[in-house]
Structure 1
């Protein structure tokens, strides 16, 4: 390899030893670099050069995985500073070097100079001058002027007390390097997609890098969002087999980013994989890889790409058109069509069904056009057996098929539309479809009228779903991303639904009346036992208690009206979120009954996650299914759930809180007085920073679930979380420190500075509801109760004690700070609420305790001549 590099560099015959040239690929330490040649038809050869006569500190090394006898070693003092000094000076630059000595093991030692000849800066001398390296004096020869100069420079650095020679030993220069992140999802969420300064330390392949995040020294692996490069497949024997263009893609990324200063937007963390975008002054590497044919777009991760998915599609399209690299054999789906057959205007003569129309061309010919990448309503599960009935009429018997057909008929019939053919689906024979009747050739196109994409309109109305493709399947709509976005937007936010079918404990089919669509819905935050199912390898055996979980969900929600809140979508197009029925969260109910485990994805929802983990192992101690599901369960430290544990004997531990918000459902939000000073300090510092560097109006792009800062009506900025986005002018936010909600324009939102994130101080507003009382169902009666509570406790300090858990939030008793009178008891005495008796023995003691002033909190004990039969005042 050394000779190969030498063949590419120029030499000076007058110099001895030989002077060679190359480009610095990587700085291994303060005294070692890797130099590469110029690429010619592929990645160039490279060699390691160690600087002669000097030594810099060793950098930190991680323990070898799988070898317990090894351990992490930290930086030596000033080692990282020496590496950084050298990196910033030479990385990616042309240097010349000499090889003065070569050991039997093949290590090469020499001198490195910046520039094209040895008149440039001597790197070793610069390091010694700054006190970042020591001179190996044992090998110094007195008649060598270069070595003597190194000794003089070291003496000068010692006298000036530079670097290694400063007093104190340099302990402050040792990094606290973090190789792992305990909760990567929360870590990514806490950064709120704000660019983080970083150094790219390693390039695994074209789209996966190892980055050092600054200033906290987290060493993380980042996969580029939205793309996939050819990679190196690891074989069973440990060897790696490169896919075509994998080495070239790796070199493309290495030559531009390795050990460069960059910024990274950490965008998502599915399944512990951190997805991000790397920003460099010279361009976006994600788009460059696509444009040069080193990568292809990936639908599932492109959904989190913050720089605009249309840019990635355009870059990929450019590479396809030029047929470069991985696209060298690419044939466009419409390559065999003339331009007049690819785009044309035609009159709609017939609407066949929800995804097919018949149009009349200018030539008078009639042509059937299928809408690209969408699927009309269809039967699923057990309902498929219906179509075997001879009397079965798909248009009328498949739910919503007629409504979808009617939507198209009213919009299109007799009108002229613009047709852009996206692909031609080849005919399939009966043999290819396993005996199923063959499909003829189909022309699939994007159809627009008045600038409106008809397929997108169908999806937005919930009258069609978007087809999911294999990653290498190029036969799809030219507006595929818009279709996906329309499908997700159609069911985002909190919506009413009817449960049409239960596939398993956590997988359901829902009808959304408002959106008039059927969706497959997966419960978020939990992991239910899987039932038996057919797999390519054979029948997969059902996990224990999968049937019980399915029956539990069926009995609770089948054909019931529910509320759902969509969080995201999976690769198959299924919606993931939370389902509520009469105030009960189905995810919590399954965990509560030992029929499911908590999935790590629940961690991003903060307080609700704590209630899930509290329910997980404790509600069914001793039950058979608990012993089965939790055979390997390790008890969580008691301090993690101390506030959530029900005591066998009621213990009154009242603490001071400040009530900040009352909801229409008689819930309230409160801050702990103990941490109030921390919040005040954080708000003061945050507003000071915002005043010094005001956010640019309109520069923030809100995303559902993100933390941000929001300008309230008083003109001040507060921490908030985005709950729903109707439009840029209507963004629903929740103020995490106060509990109130508001609808704002996105121009009144900005990124939350990292120094004031929820990692610095957790959200201070906690939701509670009153214990032992029933909230009135009558709207007027409930309003009276809420008004009374607002008058008595909002923006006041009270004393709070958690009595028992709830599906949504803790149930508590609340006392006035001065009189110690019970707020809930006052509502009962006023006839504003009824009593909810608890069956738990430890709570019965509280009810019957004369000294607790709750002796009237039982049915039958309430007496009020002015109250009606429901306990409300006449």
Structure 2
């Protein structure tokens, strides 16, 4: 039949017959990234590196499994690296040297020209051979490294399920987790790999035999859970909660709670020109203020950590230093099961063990915070996996700090930090409107506060008209301050009838 001979000829690439010199690994990875390719494992180089034969493309490809690295199987040194000539026997008499015997060649190659395998290298290779060698597998190409090695995931059948080779190696203590290649994987797979390595370390499996966890600056807090009202938002990752069980004015009534395992942008120091706020720092704090102030929350304290105070808010974990302080970290859950308008509802926890809305997860999903990079065996949030997933969603959507856009700039003139003449000159501009919407920024005493008026872009000091509360060290002073903190601190208020006092920059208002 005409043309039958031509149709029966397969056009196969050079790599199908082992010729890899012209193989374009990067082009292959780009063309097949994310695709599921059927293959047969032809060779296992070590526990985390296999050579597969792809079909129907009939190509030999070497795959380095993503997210894991097994111990090395050693290597054979080049001839120039050897310590003896492996072709002849050296004769001191000057006569022609005799050729080496087969036994001498074998001894020279195994003793002087080989680097032995790492500990558990043979066991890791044997494990991979028993699972995938000469078997049908599924390969998902993830990318390439800087040396054009192909990184991918290898899945092999086990009954009715498919197992991930890298996960099984890490789970059995035959490979360690590798961050740079794991970054090519989905966040859910990364979480599984990290948790598997952590569990293998705890059980001291194989390569982790004798492993001793490093000393950390964090300590767990057990069985400490309470409910209360949020009275102040210090920053995008720190709030103050008034415990419902403690009386007003009690030193133990208010808890400073730092949200576990997240870092919000730094607010900086307005008194220093060289310490300006980070991108989205104000937006992060304002987001928490509008969601939490005055709301009932449930707090689960999880761990405490020692940080350095040398760099202000740029805290660095240190040990046994005089310039340190201890912070308490916990997870905060909103009392309302319904997020505010515009919130990402996918950030609401779906697990039965996690009540209502995790505030840290909500911040991450809006792009107003980042995940803290914990070291091994360092304490972290009990809901760390959910936080990682929320952070990944925000990164993909380019929200908040992950976007290329800059937030709108808002310049606030603080009249509590300028001379009295400037405050007096600005007073007529405030008196043009009878009423102003404002935010209470600080409580000095039961009747004196600091107020920010967003529409006028200014902050002023002010007092309640017709009221005087006890001053510092007077009876009931702390109770009056605590009452005002719970009632109006960082709340949206309306002020009217602004009048000057003899202390020009102080204003009177009625709520």
TM-score with structure 2 setting the length: 0.50
Equivalent residue number for residue 221 of structure 1:
62
Residue 150 of structure 2 is aligned to residue 274 of structure 1? yes
Equivalent residue number for residue 205 of structure 2:
324
Partners of 2:22 and 2:257 lie apart in 1 by 52
Partners of 1:221 and 1:199 lie apart in 2 by 12
Residue 326 of structure 2 is aligned to residue 441 of structure 1? yes
Partners of 2:19 and 2:151 lie apart in 1 by 19
Equivalent residue number for residue 305 of structure 1:
185
Kindly report which structure 2 residues correspond to 1:517-556, keeping only aligned pairs within 5 A, or say none.
Answer: none
Which of these residues, 237, 242, 248, is aligned with residue 123 of structure 2? 248
Judge conservation of contact 1:496–1:513 (CA < 8 Å) in 2: no
Equivalent residue number for residue 358 of structure 1:
240
Residue 398 of structure 2 is aligned to residue 491 of structure 1? yes
Judge conservation of contact 2:217–2:318 (CA < 8 Å) in 1: no
Judge conservation of contact 1:466–1:487 (CA < 8 Å) in 2: no
Equivalent residue number for residue 212 of structure 1:
53
Against the structure 1 CA distance between its residues 399 and 216, is the aligned structure 2 distance closer, same or farther, given a 3 Å change threshold? closer
Which of these residues, 350, 371, 376, is aligned with residue 259 of structure 2? 371
Judge conservation of contact 1:375–1:465 (CA < 8 Å) in 2: yes
Judge conservation of contact 2:52–2:60 (CA < 8 Å) in 1: yes
Partners of 1:429 and 1:496 lie apart in 2 by 30
Partners of 1:485 and 1:432 lie apart in 2 by 25
Deviation (angstroms), 1:360: 4.7
Deviation (angstroms), 1:274: 1.9
Against the structure 1 CA distance between its residues 181 and 362, is the aligned structure 2 distance closer, same or farther, given a 3 Å change threshold? farther
Deviation (angstroms), 1:178: 4.1
Deviation (angstroms), 1:374: 2.9
Deviation (angstroms), 1:485: 0.4
SS in 2 for 1:340: coil
Equivalent residue number for residue 357 of structure 2:
452
Partners of 1:172 and 1:210 lie apart in 2 by 21
Judge conservation of contact 2:218–2:303 (CA < 8 Å) in 1: no
Deviation (angstroms), 1:489: 2.1
Kindly report which structure 2 residues correspond to 1:516-595, keeping only aligned pairs within 5 A, or say none.
Answer: none
Judge conservation of contact 1:203–1:258 (CA < 8 Å) in 2: yes
Equivalent residue number for residue 135 of structure 2:
260
Judge conservation of contact 1:290–1:316 (CA < 8 Å) in 2: yes
Judge conservation of contact 2:187–2:389 (CA < 8 Å) in 1: no
Partners of 1:285 and 1:234 lie apart in 2 by 23
Residue 400 of structure 2 is aligned to residue 400 of structure 1? no
Which of these residues, 223, 226, 244, is aligned with residue 340 of structure 1? 223
Kindly report which structure 2 residues correspond to 1:14-93, keeping only aligned pairs within 5 A, or say none.
Answer: none
Judge conservation of contact 1:293–1:327 (CA < 8 Å) in 2: yes
Judge conservation of contact 2:217–2:317 (CA < 8 Å) in 1: no
SS in 2 for 1:281: strand
Partners of 2:136 and 2:196 lie apart in 1 by 24
SS in 2 for 1:193: coil
Q: Deviations over 1:291-333 (max 9, x none)?
A: 2233344444334335942443454454355443345546598
Kindly report which structure 2 residues correspond to 1:820-839, keeping only aligned pairs within 5 A, or say none.
Answer: none
Against the structure 1 CA distance between its residues 330 and 399, is the aligned structure 2 distance closer, same or farther, given a 3 Å change threshold? same
Deviation (angstroms), 1:407: 1.2
Which of these residues, 147, 154, 173, is aligned with residue 293 of structure 1? 173
Kindly report which structure 2 residues correspond to 1:699-738, keeping only aligned pairs within 5 A, or say none.
Answer: none
Against the structure 1 CA distance between its residues 497 and 172, is the aligned structure 2 distance closer, same or farther, given a 3 Å change threshold? closer
Equivalent residue number for residue 85 of structure 2:
none
Judge conservation of contact 2:222–2:302 (CA < 8 Å) in 1: no
Partners of 1:513 and 1:241 lie apart in 2 by 61
Against the structure 1 CA distance between its residues 231 and 180, is the aligned structure 2 distance closer, same or farther, given a 3 Å change threshold? same
Kindly report which structure 2 residues correspond to 1:227-238, keeping only aligned pairs within 5 A, or say none.
Answer: 227-231=68-72
Deviation (angstroms), 1:356: 1.6
Against the structure 1 CA distance between its residues 171 and 415, is the aligned structure 2 distance closer, same or farther, given a 3 Å change threshold? closer
Partners of 1:349 and 1:392 lie apart in 2 by 29
SS in 2 for 1:211: strand
The higher relative CO (CA closer than 8 Å, separation ≥ 6) is in 2
Equivalent residue number for residue 202 of structure 1:
43
Q: Deviations over 1:816-857 (max 9, x none)?
A: xxxxxxxxxxxxxxxxxxxxxxxxxxxxxxxxxxxxxxxxxx
Deviation (angstroms), 1:491: 1.3
SS in 1 for 2:134: coil
SS in 2 for 1:463: coil
Judge conservation of contact 1:222–1:274 (CA < 8 Å) in 2: yes
Partners of 1:187 and 1:377 lie apart in 2 by 40
Residue 368 of structure 2 is aligned to residue 463 of structure 1? yes
Judge conservation of contact 1:293–1:324 (CA < 8 Å) in 2: yes
Equivalent residue number for residue 628 of structure 1:
none
Partners of 1:391 and 1:408 lie apart in 2 by 25
SS in 1 for 2:396: helix
Partners of 2:271 and 2:307 lie apart in 1 by 26
Against the structure 1 CA distance between its residues 410 and 281, is the aligned structure 2 distance closer, same or farther, given a 3 Å change threshold? same
Kindly report which structure 2 residues correspond to 1:678-689, keeping only aligned pairs within 5 A, or say none.
Answer: none
Against the structure 1 CA distance between its residues 464 and 339, is the aligned structure 2 distance closer, same or farther, given a 3 Å change threshold? closer
Q: Deviations over 1:327-351 (max 9, x none)?
A: 554659899646414xx34433432
SS in 2 for 1:305: coil
Against the structure 1 CA distance between its residues 340 and 224, is the aligned structure 2 distance closer, same or farther, given a 3 Å change threshold? same
SS in 2 for 1:440: strand
Against the structure 1 CA distance between its residues 221 and 473, is the aligned structure 2 distance closer, same or farther, given a 3 Å change threshold? farther
Deviation (angstroms), 1:496: 8.4
Partners of 1:299 and 1:401 lie apart in 2 by 28
Against the structure 1 CA distance between its residues 464 and 200, is the aligned structure 2 distance closer, same or farther, given a 3 Å change threshold? same
SS in 2 for 1:294: coil
Partners of 1:363 and 1:240 lie apart in 2 by 66
Judge conservation of contact 1:355–1:371 (CA < 8 Å) in 2: yes
TM-score with structure 1 setting the length: 0.31
Against the structure 1 CA distance between its residues 428 and 413, is the aligned structure 2 distance closer, same or farther, given a 3 Å change threshold? same
Partners of 1:247 and 1:219 lie apart in 2 by 24
Equivalent residue number for residue 189 of structure 1:
30
Which ranges in structure 2 are unaligned for 5 or more consecutive residues?
1-8, 82-112, 247-251, 311-315, 338-355, 411-511
Partners of 1:469 and 1:299 lie apart in 2 by 13
Q: Deviations over 1:351-406 (max 9, x none)?
A: 22112223355764444332234332249xxxxxx96x854596x85553222112
Against the structure 1 CA distance between its residues 229 and 178, is the aligned structure 2 distance closer, same or farther, given a 3 Å change threshold? same
Partners of 2:170 and 2:371 lie apart in 1 by 25
Judge conservation of contact 1:497–1:513 (CA < 8 Å) in 2: no
Judge conservation of contact 2:280–2:368 (CA < 8 Å) in 1: yes
Which ranges in structure 1 are unaligned for 5 or more consecutive residues?
1-169, 380-385, 499-510, 517-874
Deviation (angstroms), 1:250: 3.0
Against the structure 1 CA distance between its residues 178 and 194, is the aligned structure 2 distance closer, same or farther, given a 3 Å change threshold? farther
